[in-house]
Structure 1
Amino acid sequence: MTTVVYRDSTMASDSSCWEDDTHAHPVRKIWRVHKRLIGCAGMFADINAFVQWVKAGADEDDYPKLKSLSAIVVQPSGKILAYEEAGPLPIEVQGPYCAIGSGSAVALGALHQGATAVQAVRAARAHDKGTKGRIVSVKL
């Protein structure tokens, strides 16, 4: 349960970590790796494995076995790639913004109406029960 959004060189996320229905503690959801931004939603162990895979060079043959992951990887050029747990081949997002996580529907609606990445996460935090905590943003 989370919301991660990218738009206009900014990635933003909430900071909540859930254990079943309990809001447990704040966590990091955005990383800068090799001049890329990575934002993840899913199981914490899978997120760590995915980030380590990118840090190690993102070799397709070494893609970790994952159970629950959605990730946005933004290249230094601004190209937006979306990954899922199923495999190492991303989908290139053909638009100016992207959102993942339980609050993505609310965030996408806000982005469509012109919201910034931070404003979109703020909207998700107001309307999605899984999006909570401090909003963090990182520039590309």
Structure 2
Amino acid sequence: MTTFIGTFGIGHLRHRCYQPIQADTAELAAQHMADRHGYDWSTIYPLEEYKSLQDLGHFKGHQPLPTLGVETAFTDIVQQFFDRRYSEIMTSRSPFISKQERLQILQQDICSAYREKPAERPHALLRDIELQLC
């Protein structure tokens, strides 16, 4: 398996995130991106190329999404990732996308990440999001 990184363009809802993907080929990585994000993404890079672009100053401050293409062990780290995103949404402003839209994206990401294991979803966080969306 090779690690690829999927990116999102400036106009996309997840433009400040990147998507790690484990796949045998770039075509399979693109299929994982299409399965997860539809066509709301920009480019797939091999990990080393993505790191080179980061070294040149691209993708500054972008946050990783949970890895696609592998069975992810949902640990405290994954929970902390979603908690951190929630806190950032609640305490920051974006000129590109409303707080409500960012909360809806987070809600979708949580449900999608835990699709195979709904009993392990961070229900308290989902309740907090639902309260904010009311």
Question: Shorter-chain TM-score: which interval?
Answer: under 0.3
**TM-score computed with the length of structure 1 as normaliser:** 0.27
**TM-score computed with the length of structure 2 as normaliser:** 0.28
The structure with the largest strand share of the pair is 1
